[in-house]
Amino acid sequence: MKNLPRDVQEALRKQLPKVVKNDFRKIFKKEFDSLKKEMIKEFLSHPVTLEIIAGPNSTNISGTLNGNSNLFAFIGFSAGEEPIKPILEMLEKISFKDGGEANVGRNFSVDMPKANDIFAITPMPWATGRSWAKGIETGISGLGYLLNKSGRSSRSGVAIQVKNKVRGGGFSNKPYISALINKYENKFKELK
């Protein structure tokens, strides 16, 4: 580059970014899509996600309840509810923006949701200001389960039939959304 005439250097400096812009975008998009897919796959294969997707007849594969009942009934969801859907939709909406030229290459910014954004769209069925997704990480009381039991009919359909007494004290916290978001936030930052 140094050996080139100054006017050629100047022309290259001005024109090169425009020429390679789409190439950079294509390369970044490919890596971004791959990482996003990996993130969603990891979320969908998390034992907590799998257990909730399985609904009121699931077993406690996440180990959060020591094998008693299941998260769907314990949290107090109604049969037919799809609690995972809003999270999945939010993850699928992750996109990137072209941030303009960099010294070498181009800048791209990823609009990654924060854990608090996900907590805001995952209300407890019995106290909408609380998040069940946050509760997986910090602890959930057995209130939803007991309210289900004490209601005229069990909203989850099967919670009322569970014989073992499931209590809040028996809930084991598990890393869930915050860990996922932190991990992939760092991975997205590393994309080049």
Question: Which positions touch other proteins (CB under 8 A)?
Answer: 76, 124-130, 138-139, 141-148, 150-151, 167-169, 173
CB of 67 to other proteins, least distance (A): 19
* 3-state secondary structure (DSSP) of residue 161: helix
Give 59's strand partners: none
Structure tokens given for 186: 């760092």
Q: If you search the block for the tokens 């080139």, which residue do you land on?
A: 4
- Residue 96 or 132 having the CB closest to other proteins: 132
CB of 157 to other proteins, least distance (A): 16
State which H helix or E strand residue 110 sits in: strand 106-110
CB of 105 to other proteins, least distance (A): 35
- Residue 43 or 70 having the CB closest to other proteins: 70
- Distance in angstroms (rounded) separating the CA atoms of residues 41 and 51: 15
State which H helix or E strand residue 118 sits in: helix 115-120
CB of 135 to other proteins, least distance (A): 10
- Residue 53 or 121 having the CB closest to other proteins: 121
CB of 112 to other proteins, least distance (A): 20
- Residue 22 or 150 having the CB closest to other proteins: 150
- Residue 28 or 70 having the CB closest to other proteins: 70
CB of 64 to other proteins, least distance (A): 15
State which H helix or E strand residue 98 sits in: strand 96-101
Q: Which CA distances in Å does 125 have to 25, 150, 176? A: 42, 15, 19
- Residue 86 or 123 having the CB closest to other proteins: 123
- Distance in angstroms (rounded) separating the CA atoms of residues 100 and 44: 34
- Distance in angstroms (rounded) separating the CA atoms of residues 88 and 92: 6
Give 107's strand partners: 100
